[in-house]
């Protein structure tokens, strides 16, 4: 299927995609924290890898990863336009995620990575978090 936007317009749209405050991911997790009365978290804490949430007392870093951008195979979506560029970018993101996780664990942090698609199942997420809180 051909893109409905010109190459320049698509590039402009993609540049606007932000790496934080993504309503489909981080805001949903904040809602879960409120529902479950989970407290003690911070956002935008300055630490290597820029986790979406940290629990300082527990040395817990939580990343909410978008399925497309971080290479999750849940939807089997692959870009058709400029696919070499996008697949290389996603591969670099996967490698960086692994490096960040390894670094933080080496520094004594616990790391939880939550996929965007997992946000539909609050029980799955609370199990991941409860195991460390």
pLDDT digits (tens, 9 = 90+) for 29-88: 898 888 888 899 999 899 999 999 999 999 999 999 988 888 888 877 777 788 888 889
Show the tokens assigned to 32: 């879960």
Q: Looking at the whole model, is its pTM more than 0.85?
A: no
Q: How many domains does the chain have?
A: 1
| 11 domain-assigned | no
| 38 domain-assigned | yes
| 10 domain-assigned | no
| 8 domain-assigned | no
Which domain CATH number covers 41? 3.40.960.10
| 81 domain-assigned | yes
Residue 38 — left, alpha, or beta (φ > 0 → left; ψ -120 to 50 → alpha)? beta
β-pairing, 110-115 vs 60-65, is parallel
Show the tokens assigned to 42: 């911070």
Closest CA to 69 of 28, 17, 27: 17
Q: Domain containing 49: what range? A: 20-130
Q: How far apart are CA 117 and CA 24, in angstroms?
A: 10
Show the tokens assigned to 23: 């309503």
């Amino acid at each position: 299927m051909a893109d409905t936007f010109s190459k320049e317009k698509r590039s402009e749209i993609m540049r606007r995609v932000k790496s934080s405050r993504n309503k489909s991911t981080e805001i949903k997790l904040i809602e879960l924290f409120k529902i479950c009365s989970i407290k003690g978290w911070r956002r935008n804490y300055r630490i290597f890898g820029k986790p979406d949430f940290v629990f300082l007392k527990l040395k817990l870093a939580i990343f909410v990863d978008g399925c497309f951008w971080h290479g999750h195979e849940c939807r089997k979506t692959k870009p058709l336009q400029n696919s070499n560029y996008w697949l290389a970018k996603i591969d670099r993101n996967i490698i960086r995620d692994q490096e960040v996780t390894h670094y933080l664990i080496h520094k004594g942090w616990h790391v939880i990575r939550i996929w965007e698609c997992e946000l539909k199942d609050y029980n799955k997420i609370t199990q991941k978090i409860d195991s460390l809180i």
